[in-house]
Structure 1
Amino acid sequence: MNEVEQTIFTLINNHRENHGLPPLQPSANLAFVARTHAIDLVENEPDVDGGNMHSWSDKGNWKPVRYTRDHAQAHLMWSKPSEISNYKYTGYENSHGYGHGVRKTMRIDPYRAVEGWKNSPGHNNVMIQRGGWSPMKAMGVGVYKGIANVWFGEHLDTFPAPGETEENDADIIFGNTYQFIHAASNKALEIHSSGTHDGANVEIFKNHQGANQLWIIYGYDDDSIQLFNAHSDKALDVSGNGHSDGTNVQIYTNNRSVAQRWFLKSVGNGLYELINVESGKALDVSGNQSADGTNVQIWTRNHTPAQRWRIVPI
């Protein structure tokens, strides 16, 4: 997400929190749909001849929609996530923007966009699940020039977005030092309280670039890697070489066992998953929470933001 999209995402979740609702999780697929539609609205202006901003043109690899006030073609709009992305469910859209002729030159004010939706009963009902709307779990934001779209989904996005791959990334230099930043919370993978003993816990914490948040990557011929904490010189380790969902992750003296070896998988957009060699499970932030000190564990790979990391060279 760019800065404007991130602001919209945060403002909507803040609005939900004020109404006692849980935050929505980011969806790469719904964001893809939102951006694709924003581009279509700006470049092709399908909202003509009685169609509103939920309309889609006939100039893309999708079914065109002329969305009118009677909602006659609502099903063609709601099905766009499953039609053009890997999200397997329907989705629902809030759209905000400028009129024809100026939307190519204007830029979105995220605060104005969200306030407009809050003050529009129909749009507000989608955001806070009133008026018969089912509970939402996922959200994707897309902004292009003078159009902002937000797509909501009733299911978590556990699917790779269009164009994502699962290949190891060639830009990682073995022996160099990196930070692992949790994509959803923007917090760093670290050793609790700068511990150095075997079994010291691994968590996420606000990024301060301390040595307990720095990791040296070493590689093996089978494309697996080990991560060594720069402060303790101990390896990222699955406790007891466990296989169960929720098994704790810690640091431990280097023993080169499969409990300490990981496959690094690129999932696109500069994000990665770490998959334990022995269990096949992913390095996972418990509950996809964002609080300092949230525990890190292994969990069945589900392609959610809880398991995605940015790797930042130091």
Structure 2
Amino acid sequence: MIHALKGRKPYVLFLVLALLVTLLPATRAEAAYNLVWSDEFNGSTIDTNNWTFEIGTGSGGWGNNELQYYTNRSENARIENGNLVIEARKESYGGMNYTSARLKSQGKKSFKYGRIEARIKLPVGQGLWPAFWTLGSDITTVGWPRSGEIDIMEHVNNESNTHGYMHWDANGHASYGGPSHAIDVTQYHVYSVEWTPSSIKWFVDGVQFREANIANNINSTEEFHKDHFLLLNMAVGGNWPGSPNASTAFPAKMYVDYVRVYQEGGTTPPPSSAIVSGGTYKLINVNSGKALDVSGAGTAPGTNVQIWTDNGTGAQKWTIYQNADGSYKLINVNSALALDVAGSGTADGTNVQAWTDLGNGAQKWNIIRNADGTYKLINVNSGKALDVSSSGTADGTNVQIWNDNGTGAQKWQLVRL
């Protein structure tokens, strides 16, 4: 299938004169986005209301001389612990030496504009090529590249970055894009684009690394002003990554925690289902980049809660449970104590501590997603936000409650473990 030509980086035409390239990282500007669709992969099977499978080898290895046979078997794609798992295997199947999976929302879910994001953990290895991308919904009538393609995330081999690209027709195949900043792709990251009538911007964890101008169909970019559907896949081999070698570890697994689509003016608010009840998280403060931590890894009721450099210990791991009233309690993995407002206080500056799980309002938190994808935690008893004292950034800075003010000291990244 020629529309899958994703391995043509050495051959493409780069139109750069009228495309705005963002070379320096920039943080995302907050927009009034509302969640309009998501798949949180919390069920027991892949939701066929959202996804269908590509099967086989496609035309010429999906146009890229890829080496895998795509199947719909559970060995290659399944739901596991709240993730979609796409697994590439080294095995003889359908005349090929590798199998994998490719899911698409074609004919089921399509979108024009908005923020499209997924939280993904990737394998590395020579010849591996996982991707999260879109194609124009009219692909079957106009063909590729006139359908348009947005590569939100592509990764090849052992690189310490991902790539964002766009492909379209401008009297022939045209392409624009490039690599992200350096990251550890074997850890979870949020890969996203913000797509508007004027531009497409690429982000990793909210940090922008590329931008393209599509205003007024500049450079024949009309392909990006129509509906696109979503794809998730992991190719093996192909023109871009080359073939696997003896160092490539199989099976190779790509984990997708969620896929979400936000649009301006959407009517559906971000649901609480974005938080997995019973899931374990670390909470990283946006202002300081440090983790919500129980002081000294203490286990006694009344132990202080602070921020500390992210170290992966149990003192920084919190299991989040949804209460019957829709609020949440946060139970520290190391101590089994709850995140608690001392003395059920309601005044600004009241200390936050770890305490025996009592189920009272001092231990109940409404977890609310901000427009930029971070979260604020509002204590049910006081109506005040979980806050880092004086917007501090040093290890050991105290955590308290304070009036909800929308600052970075009250914004938290919830990173599922």
TM-score by length of 2: 0.38
**Which is higher, the Rg of structure 1 or of structure 2?**
2
- The separation in 2 between residues aligned to 1:166 and 1:181, in whole angstroms, is 23
Other-structure match for 1:253: 356
The corresponding residue for 1:5 is: 25
Contact 1:105/1:145 (<8 A) preserved:
no
**Distance in 2 (alpha carbons) for counterparts of 1:261 and 1:216:** 13
- Determine the structure 2 residue equivalent to 1:266: 369
Which SS does the other structure have where 1:306 is aligned? helix
**What is the distance in 1 between the residues matched to 2:340 and 2:374?**
21
Q: Is 1:188 aligned to residue 208 of structure 2?
A: no
**CA 1:217 to 1:145, structure 2 compared with 1: closer, same or farther past 3 Å?**
closer
In 1, distance between residues paired with 2:394 and 2:29? 22
Cα distance in 2, alignment partners of residues 233 and 193 from structure 1: 15
Deviation at 1:169, TM superposition (A): 3.1
Q: How many residues align?
A: 180
Of 306, 310, 318, which aligns to 1:215? Answer: 318
Say which SS state the counterpart of residue 288 (structure 2) adopts. Answer: coil
Equivalent position SS for 1:293: coil
Higher strand share: 2
Structure 1 position 3, deviation (Å) = 9.0
1:32-55 deviation per Cα after TM superposition (whole angstroms, max 9, x unaligned): 6xxxxxxxxxxxxxxxxxxxxxxx
- Equivalent position of 1:295 in the other structure: 398
In structure 1, which of residues 195, 198, 209 is the aligned counterpart of residue 301 of structure 2?
198
Cα 1:166–1:281 change in 2 (3 A) is farther
SS in 2 for 1:184: coil
**Structure 1 Cα separation of the partners of residues 353 and 326 of structure 2:** 22
CA apart distance, 1:184? 1.8
1:21 aligned partner? none
Give per-residue Cα distances to partners, 1:177-203, cap 9 Å, x unaligned.
111111122111010110111110001
- How high is the sequence identity, in percent, across the aligned residues? 42
Q: Deviations over 1:136-182 (max 9, x none)?
A: xxxxx9775499xxxxxxxxxxxxxx779974431322112111111
Q: Which AA in structure 2 matches 1:189? A: L
Residue 296 of structure 1: CA displacement? Answer: 0.5
Mapped to 2, the partners of 1:106 and 1:168 lie a distance apart of 33
Which residue matches 2:333? 230
The correspondence of residues 10-29 of structure 1 with structure 2, limited to 5 A, is: 28-29=29-30
- Partner residue of 2:344? 241
* Matches of 1:168 and 1:252, distance apart in 2: 28
Stretches of structure 2 that go unaligned for 5 or more consecutive residues are 1-21, 32-174, 182-206, 214-263
Whether the 8 Å CA contact 2:29–2:372 is kept in 1: the answer is no
Asked whether the equivalents of residues 262 and 277 of structure 1 are also in contact (C-alpha less than 8 Å), the reply is yes
Other-structure match for 1:173: 276
State the distance in 2 between where 1:4 and 1:228 align. Answer: 39
RMSD of aligned alpha carbons? 3.4
Q: Distance in 2 between matches of 1:263 and 1:166?
A: 15
Letter in 1 for 2:401: I
The one-letter code of the counterpart of 2:296 is S
* Cα separation, 2, equivalents of 1:3 and 1:226: 41
Local SS of the residue matching 2:334: coil
What corresponds to 2:380 in structure 1? 277
Superposed counterparts of 1:75-154, under 5 Å = 145=211
In 1, Cα distance between equivalents of 2:408 and 2:370: 11
Displacement after TM superposition at 1:269 (Å): 3.0
Three-state SS of the structure 1 residue aligned to 2:376 is strand
Q: Distance in 2 between matches of 1:295 and 1:303?
A: 18
* Higher fraction of helix: 1
Partners of 2:392 and 2:265 lie apart in 1 by 27
Task: Provide closer, same or farther for how the CA distance between residues 169 and 196 of structure 1 changes in structure 2, counting only shifts above 3 A.
Answer: same
Find the aligned partners of 1:143 and 1:169 in 2 and give their Cα distance: 30
Contact 1:166/1:267 (8 A) holds in 2: no
Give SS of 2:330's match.
strand
Contact 1:163 1:268 in 2 (8 A): no
Secondary structure in 1 matching 2:274: coil
Residue of structure 2 equivalent to 1:76: none
For structure 1, the 5+ residue unaligned runs are 10-26, 33-103, 111-140, 148-161
Spell out, residue by residue over 1:113-156, the C-alpha distance to the aligned partner (whole angstroms, 9 max, x if none): xxxxxxxxxxxxxxxxxxxxxxxxxxxx9775499xxxxxxxxx
Q: TM-score, normalised by structure 1?
A: 0.50
Letter in 1 for 2:359: R
